[in-house]
Amino acid sequence: MPEQEYLPPRRPVAPARSYRPDRDEEDPPPWADLPPVHGGRGHAGRPPAGVGGSAPGPLRDDSPSQWAQGGGPAVDENEDVPGRERGRRRAMRAAARKRRRWLILAGGLAIAAGAAIAVVLLSGGPGPAAVTPGTLITTFQPGELRQVPNACGAVPTATVRQYLPGKVSQSSPLAVNGAAESACNWTVDSPPVYRLMELNMLAYAPNGLASGDGSATFAAIDAYDSTLQGIANPPKDSPDPRATVTPLPGFGDQASSAMQVFHAGGAITDVATVLVRYHNVVVTVTLDGLEHSNRGSYGPVSQSALSAAALAFARAAEASLH
């Protein structure tokens, strides 16, 4: 007679229900493999006391909670519950888990979107970050110059001979701003020609009193505007005449030419000025031409020739800054 397999007697109480992938969803629920939670029930399907207005059923003393974590009433799977009721409760727990997943996903998307918006707002988009409003710049920025080249060497000899005919005397005034400034003078004094060409180049440093962000470039912009304003509209108590100002587009970052006519002691002097700014450097060129004097025989002069000579010297000086 073949041996029969020994079957142990059925236990009256089943162990805690474990997660089964063939029966549940792909991801184990948070309550998988936890000890069973017994809720108080009077009859099958009746909620605990205080829910839905039903009369409370007897509660077990060892019950830690009236509801399971899944969102529906906690029941023991081994109790005699109709199959339809068990299916309904399983569907309720599955719906609750799905809602939790959607909430977690929505929360993660909201956090990611908030972080992306914050990065865009703080960085100012794909371009470089903008300077914080109200912040002063105290260092030299890219492209700005700390010193300028020698002014006398900035103008080629051929340019000097072309625009200052005759015997030229050259001198280099002592700069008061160290290497940040350089000046040079060329003089022709041979009647009937008298010319005095003055070239000055000055690199400005950051200045907290300057406009804008106080950078070296803004300091140079202020100096350029102030000089041009002083030529075009001298103070009422100044003996200087008002200048005729002409913008020079496409030259440096800013450029203008001006013409003034001075009358003093019976002499008449025409002065051509070219003012140009390149980043934080301001180049100033003035050319005096004595049109008439009460001593000696000087003149006449051509204002257009004076303006052309001043412009040629200014272009040579500005080119030396690159």
User: What share of the chain in percent tops pLDDT 70?
Assistant: 58
Q: Answer whether residue 251 shows pLDDT above 60.
A: yes
pLDDT tens digits, one per residue of 82-117: 555 556 666 666 666 666 665 565 565 555 555 444
Residue of 84, 99, 88 whose CA lies nearest to 30: 99
**How many residues are present in the chain?**
322
Does residue 151 or residue 11 have the better pLDDT? 151
Q: Is the pLDDT of residue 5 over 80?
A: no
Q: How confident is the model at residue 72 (pLDDT cuts 50, 70, 90)?
A: very low
Sign of the CA dihedral with 304 first, then 305, 310, and 316 last: positive
pLDDT score, position 233: 95
- Whether the pLDDT of residue 289 is over 70: the answer is yes
Q: Distance (Å, rounded) from C-alpha 126 to C-alpha 297?
A: 67
Is 93 in contact with 71 (CB distance < 8 Å)? yes
Q: Which pLDDT does position 1 carry in this prediction?
A: 43
Q: Residue 148 to residues 89, 121, 178: CA-CA distances in angstroms?
A: 86, 40, 10
Distance, in Å, from the CA atom of 258 to the CA atom of 228, rounded to the nearest integer, reads: 9
Beta-bridge partner residues of 260: 271
Domain boundaries, the chain: 14-130, 151-319
Residues with Cβ < 8 Å from 79, sequence gap 6 or more?
A: none
Per-residue pLDDT at 101: 63
Average pLDDT, the chain: 76
pLDDT at 45: 40
Residues 6+ apart with CB under 8 A from 30: 69
Chain segment 166-177, per-residue pLDDT in tens: 899 999 998 889
Q: What's the average model confidence in pLDDT over 117-143?
A: 59
List Cβ neighbours of 122 (8 Å cut-off, separation of 6 or more). Answer: none
Report the CATH fold assignment for 151-319. Protein Transport Mog1p; Chain A (3.40.1000)
Tokens at 97, concatenated: 């888990």
Ranking 18-22, 235-239, 294-298 by mean pLDDT, the lowest is 18-22
Contact call for residues 70 and 37 (beta carbons, < 8 A):
no
Burial class (CB in 10 A: 0-12, 13-18, 19+), 61: exposed
Query: CA angle at residue 102 from 100 to 104, to 5 degrees?
Result: 70
Which residue would you say has higher pLDDT here, 91 or 266? Answer: 266
